[in-house]
């Protein structure tokens, strides 16, 4: 299955992205979008899967530097 994921970033001016993935995102996962690292805080099905495709929405927040 191919997961078409719409990533939306909160707390920062970022355009987000739509990414095709082989595995679904999960809350707590981290993802690199451009030069920045984000943590997924919510995942929602947009519509039921159709054929080989699933359509998901993931809300993310920036990962804070621990330095």
pLDDT digits (tens, 9 = 90+) for 12-52: 888 999 999 999 999 999 999 988 999 999 999 999 999 99
Give the per-residue pLDDT at 14: 87
Whether residue 46 is contained in a domain is answered as: yes
Residue 49, domain extent: 2-62
Torsion angle in degrees (nearest 10) through CA of 53, 16, 30, 44: -50
Residue 64's pLDDT band (boundaries 50, 70, 90)? confident
Q: Kindly give the pairing relationship between strand 2-9 and strand 53-62.
A: parallel
Decide: helix, strand or coil at residue 27: coil
Higher pLDDT, 66 or 52: 52
Q: Kindly provide the b/e burial profile for residues 48-62, where b requires at least 16 CB atoms within 10 angstroms of the residue's own CB.
A: eeeeeebbbebbbee
Whether residue 67 is contained in a domain is answered as: no
- Is residue 50 within 8 A of residue 2, CB to CB? The reply is no
Specify the number of domains making up the chain: 1
Give the per-residue pLDDT at 9: 96
């Amino acid at each position: 299955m191919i997961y078409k994921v719409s990533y939306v970033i909160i707390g920062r001016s970022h355009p987000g992205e739509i990414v095709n993935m082989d595995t679904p995102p999960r809350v707590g996962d981290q993802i690199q979008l451009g030069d920045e690292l984000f943590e997924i805080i919510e995942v929602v099905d947009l519509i039921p899967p159709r054929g080989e495709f699933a359509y998901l929405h993931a809300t993310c927040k920036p990962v804070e530097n621990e330095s």
